[in-house]
């Protein structure tokens, strides 16, 4: 196992991100026609880039570019179609912002080309377990990697935390064998990916148990169906307040990066949660 540097996320092109301060925001930019929240809105490169830059202005530290919807039942796309959607955006965006750029893909070929185009991070929703070449691409390019847990295409364990450790430890073994440094890795428990409302709430309530991995954790709850079920909000864009509530809860529980649609609301939620965490640290008594 290649060990991590304390509180620093090492990513491609010699960049890094400090993880020992306030919560960080990863803004979602879907260059897709069918994503559940903003499908079709940023399919054109000019619109995607404008939206990404607006997110940076509002406080995003990372821009996550995706070319294939991961919503349940979404139609798959070919490698070429995915690459035609994301690569021009990444290449142009890398020339106009210092924000880190992430590519949301489970395909090794897309990941390699995206890093060559300027991306710093690979966000793999199958946790290096879908494409056997992905881990080697991450290692060879020096990219940072988000390793996400999923319950799709597999049999889950009945206990939500036990399943997290079973799946993600397999992913970490793959990463170790490929030579990926632990300082390049952040974990994502995969809210909403083959998890029902009760499982998502239970995962939130036990989120602090994921600290046993000893790695930074990303939370991606934004506008998910379970938030709609809890709040009675049917429309995806009506779930931002519920998302902000999960952001505050999960920041207190230990998450450091938040993948979201609404950057401004997340920024405000983190401002409150981070103030509480600083107070706890300063007092040193562990009480809220």
CA distance 91 to 75: 26
* Residue range 16-45: mean pLDDT, rounded: 78
The answer to whether 220 and 195 have CB atoms below 8 angstroms apart is no
- pLDDT at residue 35, rounded to an integer: 46
φ and ψ at 129, to 5 degrees? -105, 0
Q: What is the model's pLDDT at position 33? A: 72
pLDDT digits (tens, 9 = 90+) for 83-120: 999 999 999 999 999 999 999 999 999 999 999 999 99
Q: Which two tokens stand for residue 99?
A: 């924000």
Question: And the tokens for 194?
Answer: 């083959």
pLDDT value at position 283? 78
In the 8-state DSSP scheme, what is residue 16?
E
Task: Name the residues annotated as catalytic.
Answer: 224, 259
CA 166 to chain centre: 20
Is 34 in contact with 75 (CB distance < 8 Å)? yes
In this structure, what token pair is assigned to residue 58?
């509002």
C-alpha to C-alpha distance for 268 and 185, rounded to whole angstroms? 26
| Banded model confidence at residue 239, pLDDT cuts 50, 70, 90 | very high
Are 31 and 67 in contact, with CB atoms under 8 Å apart?
yes
Long-range contacts for 73-80 (Cβ within 8 Å, ≥24 apart)? 74/34, 74/35, 75/34, 79/107, 79/109, 79/110
pLDDT at residue 3 greater than cutoff 60? no
pLDDT at 210 over 80: yes
Q: Are 124 and 94 in contact (CB under 8 A)?
A: no
Q: Give me the percent of the chain exceeding a pLDDT of 70.
A: 91
**Model confidence pLDDT, tens digit, residues 128-163:** 999 999 999 999 999 999 999 999 999 999 999 999
Axis crossing angle, helix 108-117 with helix 134-141, rounded to the nearest 10? 20
Pairing relation of β-strands 144-148 and 100-104?
Answer: unpaired
pLDDT band at 36 (very low <50, low <70, confident <90, very high): very low
Closest CA to 118 of 101, 135, 106: 101
Convert the pLDDT of each residue in 47-90 to its tens digit.
999 999 999 999 999 999 999 977 666 667 899 999 999 999 99
Give per-residue pLDDT as tens, 169-206. 999 999 999 999 999 999 999 999 999 999 999 999 99
Pairing of strands 144-148, 121-124: parallel
Burial class (CB in 10 A: 0-12, 13-18, 19+), 75: exposed
Q: Give the chain's mean pLDDT.
A: 93
| Mean pLDDT, range 213-224, rounded to an integer | 97
**pLDDT top residue among 21 and 74:** 21
Residue 111 near residue 12 (C-beta atoms within 8 A): no
* Homologous superfamily assigned to 8-285: Dihydropteroate synthase-like (3.20.20.20)
Confidence of residue 40 (pLDDT cuts 50, 70, 90): very low
On whether the CB atoms of residues 83 and 67 are closer than 8 A, the answer is: yes
Confidence of residue 41 (pLDDT cuts 50, 70, 90): low
Mean pLDDT, range 230-243, rounded to an integer? 96
């Amino acid at each position: 196992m290649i060990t991590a540097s304390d509180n620093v996320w090492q990513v491609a092109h010699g960049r890094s991100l400090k993880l020992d301060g306030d919560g960080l925001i990863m803004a979602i930019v879907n260059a897709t026609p069918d994503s559940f929240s903003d499908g079709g809105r940023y399919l054109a490169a000019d619109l995607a880039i404008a939206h990404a830059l607006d997110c940076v202005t509002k406080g995003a530290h990372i821009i996550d570019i995706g070319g294939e919807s991961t919503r349940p039942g979404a139609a798959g796309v070919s490698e070429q179609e995915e690459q035609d959607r994301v690569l021009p955006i990444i290449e142009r965006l890398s020339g106009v912002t210092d924000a880190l750029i992430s590519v949301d893909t489970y395909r090794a070929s897309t990941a390699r080309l995206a890093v060559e185009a300027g991306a710093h991070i690979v966000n793999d929703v199958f946790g290096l377990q879908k494409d056997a070449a992905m881990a080697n691409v991450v290692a060879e390019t020096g990219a940072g990697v988000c390793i996400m847990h999923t319950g799709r295409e597999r049999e889950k364990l009945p206990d939500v935390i036990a399943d997290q450790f079973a799946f993600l430890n397999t992913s970490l073994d793959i990463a170790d064998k490929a030579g990926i440094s632990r300082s390049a890795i952040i974990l994502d428990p995969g809210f909403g990916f083959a998890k029902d409302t009760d499982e998502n709430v239970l995962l939130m309530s036990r989120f602090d148990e994921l600290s046993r991995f000893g790695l930074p954790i990303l939370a991606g709850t934004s506008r998910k169906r379970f938030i709609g079920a809890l709040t009675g909000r049917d429309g995806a864009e009506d779930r931002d307040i519920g998302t902000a509530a999960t952001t505050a809860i999960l920041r207190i529980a230990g998450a450091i990066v938040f993948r979201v649609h609404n950057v401004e609301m997340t920024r405000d939620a983190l401002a409150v949660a981070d103030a509480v965490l600083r107070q706890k640290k300063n007092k040193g008594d562990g009480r809220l």
